[in-house]
Amino acid sequence: MSLDRPIAPDPYELLPAVGSFTLTSTDVQDGEPVDDVYAGSHGNRSPQLSWSGFPEGTQSFAVTCYDPDAPTPSGFWHWAVAGIPADVTSLAQGVGDGFGLPEGAIQLRNDAGQAGYTGPMPPSGDRAHRYYFVVHAVDVPALEIDDTASPAYLSFNLVFHTLARAIVTPTYQVAAE
């Protein structure tokens, strides 16, 4: 079976325009391949993320990781965390396993059905996938969701509450066997 298909657009260019701020990581970089330790079939460890320069009025943050290149009509949500307090400006490597999240933050089930982070796992031989790690500056202390919400539902709510976004988009590819 061929996985040839059009390249998906940048999903955040399809949303209403918002401000931006800075997202950095000691573990993943924009446009660079992800190390295996952060991939789903290897270490499956969430990367370290830090952010700064977000707008005044930010009352909380949400963090998501999304692959628009997955061979599905809806892409693939790898990670979604909501309710991060406004005084928290980083997440340590590995918090996607549920330990060390800031008080009040909730992790949602990703598209693999797990509450937490699931690293990149594109099909063998497929082109490099993009992984949008996004920090959303939110205008309310907590969105009206709980840990049963889907990442897509979180994203729907974020459309109405995001003041600004910070994005880092590394890639990952598995060589054909």
177 residues of the chain, pLDDT tens digit each: 678 999 999 999 999 999 999 999 999 999 999 999 999 988 899 999 999 999 999 999 999 999 999 999 999 999 999 999 999 999 999 999 989 999 999 999 999 999 999 999 999 999 999 999 999 999 999 999 999 999 999 999 999 999 999 999 999 999 887
DSSP for 66-82, please give it.
EETTSSSTT-EEEEEEE
CB atoms under 10 Å from CB of 84, counted, come to: 25
Q: In what order do the strands lie in the sheet with 22-24?
A: 22-24, 49-52, 90-91
Q: Is 93 helix (H, G, I), strand (E, B) or coil?
A: coil
**Cα separations (Å) of 143 from 4, 113, 137, 146?**
38, 21, 12, 8
What domains, with CATH codes, occur in the chain? 18-172 (3.90.280.10)
Residue that is written with structure tokens 């082109």 in the block = 127
